[in-house]
Amino acid sequence: METLTLHPTEADAGTRADVWLAARLENLTRSAVQRLLEEGRVTRNGKPLAKNCRLSGGEVLTVSLPDPEPIDARPQDIPLDVVFEDGDVIVVNKPKGLVVHPAPGHPDGTLVNALLYHCGGSLSGVGGALRPGIVHRIDRDTSGLIIAAKNDFAHLRLAAQLQDHSLARTYECIVVGGLREDAGTVDAPIGRHPSDRKRMAVVPGGRPAVTHWEVLARFPGRTHLRCRLETGRTHQIRVHMASLGHPVLGDPVYGKAVPGLQGQCLHAAALRFTHPRTGERLELSCPLPEEFQAQLRKLAGQC
Backbone Cα Rg of the chain: 20
Are 269 and 144 in contact by the 8 Å Cβ rule? The answer is yes
Q: What span, in angstroms and rounded, lies between the C-alpha atoms of 241 and 201?
A: 11
Q: What span, in angstroms and rounded, lies between the C-alpha atoms of 106 and 239?
A: 24
Select which of 12, 139, 141, 152 is catalytic. 139
User: DSSP letter string over 121-180?
Assistant: T---STT-TTSTTBSS---TT-EEEEEEESSHHHHHHHHHHHHTT-SEEEEEEEEES--S
Q: What span, in angstroms and rounded, lies between the C-alpha atoms of 185 and 155?
A: 29
Of the candidates 48, 49, 57, 51, the one whose C-alpha atom is nearest the C-alpha of residue 33 is 51
Q: What span, in angstroms and rounded, lies between the C-alpha atoms of 208 and 165?
A: 13
Q: What span, in angstroms and rounded, lies between the C-alpha atoms of 46 and 65?
A: 15
Told to judge if 67 belongs to the known catalytic residues of this protein, a careful annotator would answer no
**Size of the chain in residues:** 303
**Which residues carry out catalysis?**
139
